[in-house]
């Protein structure tokens, strides 16, 4: 019985996941490869044979140097890209704080963008209505909400993007250093929000280069190096390994 | 094919919103705005009409109808087909943020692009119909065929865009090739001339194989000739065979390339 519950709790499961990018000499070879098998110039292995499980409500940090495969892991979780081999199981809605302004239309107003983004995430009109005010309040845009997004400052856009993503009640929240944008006041507000989401059993994956930010939030850390998962466990120990490797 | 339909389930509202957004983007930044959507085709049509009458001194009647009316019915269909071919090839690259930034059913991009073009088309058809009525054509039962031809045209070129768009993601050269070949398609198709009046037997078959002619003549049958679409069974059969092929190739290409698109863009 217990075992079964444990199984049910797993919200993200990577099993021997490998992602390789095909590299071609030029675009025409890339096009030709659609029609017949051609020798690749090179295959870049972004991640190799990565397996891990994340349970519901866990807060997990991902560290690693540039090109270690952190972003690829996140992209696979958010469903933007697909693994070349291995299986990925994800149960629940994924909210991504990767590129906060992704999916925005700059010609439309902030309010229209809330609806657009809501629809893209699969919400109905009524559902978006119910979170509309919460988003506007959190983003602190005031009357700017009815101005086109192109007139916003980058900080305002980020705020709106963040507010939309956290208000859509994801089961899994993926964060990629997005919080380094914005002033310290708003950053603090975001951190508070994330903490309250963690308390509400939202699973969080946090990717960052700044260890202090991860330390604050995560107990468990995945350490990736050259596409392989080299450590999975206690945050303190992961940092030791990471620093030793530097 | 099933995958594409599955991707559309639950996306009704979004598709409509995104279509309108696309439409807005088409005419943003100009004072006349939406009027350009009608003005541009009208100017093109008048230019060709002038060339035909003043330059080439073609007779003012063709196939028993005033040349302008004849060209109008053909051009209205052609404008939509042209927009669908060019727009279909471009649409994924143009909306690449839906591919590389968020998890989004990519086949929906084809659909909302097509719908936005179709809205424009419907506007043009309404304008054409007003003109035809003013020019003395009576409303007739043959006109209801329009809905059949319009729906088939929409689906046929949507299926085309699955192939054109997917391949364009992998090669900009292919996208440019598509844009530049469209003018050629225009001239070999009977938009300006009467493709039903071809003597040479081989040319006659060639003309019949061209789906553009199917629609151009379909619109003329509907609005001018007053002929039912089933009168030419061979033509109908050829079209549906082509439709099936395009549908299969499109679904196959989309499925094959879908997962790699994000990595390429």
Q: How high is the ipTM of this complex? A: 0.73
Phi, psi torsion values for A38, nearest 5 degrees: -125, 155
Q: How many percent of chain A have pLDDT more than 70?
A: 92
Q: For B25, name the nearest residue in chain A, comparing CA atoms only.
A: A107
Minimal Cα–Cα distance from B88 to chain A, Å? 18
Q: What is the pLDDT of residue A3?
A: 45
Say how far apart CA B132 and CA B143 lie, in whole Å: 12
> What's the CA dihedral at B93, B260, A48, A37 to 10 degrees?
-130
Residues 42 to 101 of B: which have CB under 8 A from any A CB?
97-101
Q: Residue A148: beta bridge partners?
A: A109
Say how far apart CA B49 and CA B39 lie, in whole Å: 15
Inspect the interface and report whether the beta carbons of B262 and A80 lie closer than 8 Å.
yes
How would residue A1 be classed by pLDDT, with cut points 50, 70 and 90? very low
Strand (E) positions, chain B? Answer: 61-62, 65-66
- A245 close to B (CB below 8 A): no
Mean pLDDT of A107-132: 80
- B6 close to A (CB below 8 A): no
Q: Which of B102, B171, B259 is the closest to A82 by Cβ?
A: B259
Helix B67-94 × helix B35-50 angle, to 10°: 130
- A79 close to B (CB below 8 A): yes
Q: What is the pLDDT of residue A2?
A: 42
Inspect the interface and report whether the beta carbons of B21 and A99 lie closer than 8 Å.
no
CA angle A85, A87, A90 (to 5 degrees): 140
Say how far apart CA B203 and CA B201 lie, in whole Å: 5
Per the CB < 8 A criterion, the answer to whether A81 and B263 are in contact is yes
How would residue A40 be classed by pLDDT, with cut points 50, 70 and 90? low
Is pLDDT at A4 greater than 50 in this prediction? no
- A78 close to B (CB below 8 A): yes
Say how far apart CA B99 and CA A79 lie, in whole Å: 10
Residues of A in contact with B173 (CB under 8 A): 27-28, 31
Q: E strand or H helix at A88, and its extent?
A: strand A85-90
Q: Which of A78, A81, A105 is the closest to B263 by Cβ?
A: A81
- B30 close to A (CB below 8 A): no
Per the CB < 8 A criterion, the answer to whether A96 and A74 are in contact is yes
Residues 11 to 30 of A: which have CB under 8 A from any B CB?
21-22, 27-28, 30
Delineate the domains of chain A, giving CATH numbers in brackets.
2-92+208-245 (3.40.50.300)
Per-residue pLDDT of chain B (265 residues; tens, 9 = 90+): 777 777 777 677 778 877 887 787 777 656 677 778 888 888 888 888 888 888 777 777 787 888 888 888 899 999 999 999 999 898 888 888 788 777 778 888 899 899 989 999 999 999 999 998 998 888 888 888 889 999 999 999 999 999 998 898 888 888 889 988 999 999 888 888 888 888 888 888 888 888 998 999 999 989 888 888 888 888 889 999 999 999 999 999 888 888 888 887 7
Inspect the interface and report whether the beta carbons of B170 and A80 lie closer than 8 Å.
no
Residues of B in contact with A79 (CB under 8 A): 103
Inspect the interface and report whether the beta carbons of A34 and B98 lie closer than 8 Å.
no
Written as six digits, the tokens of A160 are 């709106």
Inspect the interface and report whether the beta carbons of B18 and A21 lie closer than 8 Å.
no
Minimal Cα–Cα distance from A137 to chain B, Å? 24
Q: How many percent of chain A have pLDDT more than 90?
A: 0
pLDDT tens-digit map of A199-227:
888 888 888 777 777 777 778 888 888 87
Q: For B11, name the nearest residue in chain A, comparing CA atoms only.
A: A122
Burial B6-31 (b: 16+ CB within 10 A, else e): ebeeebebbbebbbebbbeebeeeee
pLDDT tens-digit map of A122-155:
777 788 888 888 888 888 877 888 888 888 887 7
Instruction: Give the DSSP per-residue string, A158-189.
Output: HHHHHHHHHHT--SEEEEESGGGSS-HHHHHH
Inspect the interface and report whether the beta carbons of B13 and A119 lie closer than 8 Å.
yes
How would residue A182 be classed by pLDDT, with cut points 50, 70 and 90? low
Inspect the interface and report whether the beta carbons of B18 and A116 lie closer than 8 Å.
yes
pLDDT tens-digit map of B114-124:
998 999 999 99
How would residue A178 be classed by pLDDT, with cut points 50, 70 and 90? low
Residue A224's alpha-carbon distances to A203, A217, A244, in angstroms, are 20, 18, 14
Q: E strand or H helix at B179, and its extent?
A: helix B172-188
Inspect the interface and report whether the beta carbons of A80 and B102 lie closer than 8 Å.
yes
């Amino acid at each position: 019985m217990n075992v079964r519950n444990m199984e049910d709790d797993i919200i993200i499961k990577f099993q021997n996941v490998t992602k390789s990018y095909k590299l071609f000499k030029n675009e025409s070879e890339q096009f030709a490869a659609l029609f017949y098998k051609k020798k690749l110039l090179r295959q870049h292995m972004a991640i190799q044979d990565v397996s891990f499980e994340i349970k519901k409500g866990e807060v997990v940090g991902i560290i690693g140097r540039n090109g270690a495969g952190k972003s690829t892991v996140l992209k696979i979780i958010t469903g933007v890209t697909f693994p070349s081999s291995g299986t990925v199981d994800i149960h629940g809605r994924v909210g991504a704080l990767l590129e906060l302004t992704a999916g925005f239309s700059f010609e439309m107003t902030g309010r229209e963008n809330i609806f657009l983004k809501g629809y893209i995430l699969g919400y109905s009109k009524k559902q978006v209505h119910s979170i509309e005010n919460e988003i506007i309040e959190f983003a602190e845009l005031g009357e700017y909400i009815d101005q086109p997004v192109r007139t916003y400052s980058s900080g305002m856009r980020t705020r709106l993007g963040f507010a939309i993503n956290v208000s859509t009640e994801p089961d899994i929240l993926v964060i990629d250093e997005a919080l380094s944008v914005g002033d310290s006041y708003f950053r603090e507000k975001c951190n508070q929000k994330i903490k309250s989401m963690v308390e509400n059993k939202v699973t969080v994956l946090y990717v960052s280069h700044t260890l202090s930010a991860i330390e604050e939030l995560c107990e468990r850390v995945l350490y990736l190096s050259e596409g392989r998962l080299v450590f999975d466990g206690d945050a303190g120990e992961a940092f030791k390994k990471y620093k030793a490797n530097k | 094919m099933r995958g594409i339909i599955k991707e559309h389930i639950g996306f009704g509202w979004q598709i409509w919103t995104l279509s309108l957004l696309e439409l807005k983007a088409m005419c943003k930044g100009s004072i006349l705005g939406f009027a350009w959507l009608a003005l541009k085709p009208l100017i093109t049509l008048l230019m060709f009409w002038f060339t035909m009458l003043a330059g080439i001194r073609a007779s003012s009647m063709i196939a028993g109808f005033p040349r302008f009316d004849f060209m109008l019915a053909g051009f209205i269909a052609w404008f939509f087909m042209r927009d669908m071919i060019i727009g279909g090839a471009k649409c994924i690259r143009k909306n690449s943020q839906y591919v590389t930034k968020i998890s989004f059913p990519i086949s929906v991009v084809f659909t909302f692009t097509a719908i936005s073009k179709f809205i424009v088309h419907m506007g043009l058809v309404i304008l054409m119909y007003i003109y035809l009525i003013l020019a003395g054509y009576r409303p007739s039962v043959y006109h209801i065929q329009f809905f059949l031809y319009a729906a088939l045209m929409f689906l046929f070129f949507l299926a085309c865009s699955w192939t054109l768009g997917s391949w364009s993601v992998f090669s900009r050269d292919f996208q440019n090739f598509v844009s530049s070949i469209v003018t050629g398609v225009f001239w070999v198709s009977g938009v300006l001339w009467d493709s039903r009046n071809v003597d040479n037997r081989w040319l006659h078959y060639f003309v019949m194989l061209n789906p553009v002619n199917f629609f151009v003549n379909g619109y003329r049958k509907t609005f001018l000739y007053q002929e039912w679409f089933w009168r030419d069974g061979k033509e109908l059969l050829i079209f549906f065979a082509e439709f099936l092929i395009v549908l299969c190739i499109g679904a196959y290409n989309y499925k094959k390339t879908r997962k790699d698109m994000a990595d390429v863009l």
